[in-house]
Amino acid sequence: MENVFIQNLTKNFLDDRMDEFLDILKDIPLEYWTKENFLTELNGKWKYSTVALNEEKNVIGYIIASEKESSIHIHKFMIANGYRNLGFGKLLLENFEKRCKDYNKNYITLKVYLSNIKAISFYKRYNFFGISRTPDLLLMGKNI
């Protein structure tokens, strides 16, 4: 596995590298995020969001998150095609969880499409559990 560098996501980095963030979404069915979604200001977004870079400093993954009342909510967690199933998602999630703990946050939530069996399996492998569901989405949570 090649080296990966994980760092805090900043607004300037996102603005400068927006095309890379959008490119990662191109092969995802039902994906609706646009530049405007990425640029939406959220409580704690720049404090908790992270980005993973490969050895050439290209964006290979990211977690966009915000602070809710008693938890951190992941709005978007993506790994680029070609880097999936190689352990990079685990590294990014572990780094993200450490960041949350550093800020004394001990609960993470996210939503995932019920049709995304691979993502649900990934989250369950890392101790996320189902909280509630709609016909299309599963709300999952994790104590850290």
Q: What is the pTM of this model?
A: 0.95
Residue 7's beta-bridge partner residues? 51
d(CA 104, CA 111): 22
pLDDT at 56: 95
Enter the CATH code of domain 5-143.
Answer: 3.40.630.30
- Kindly report the average pLDDT of the chain as a whole number: 95
The position carrying tokens 């995802």 is 28
Q: Where are the domains of the chain?
A: 5-143
93: nearest Cα among 26, 19, 4: 4
pLDDT value at residue 91: 96
Give the pLDDT of residue 1: 64
Residue 139 has pLDDT above 70, yes or no: yes
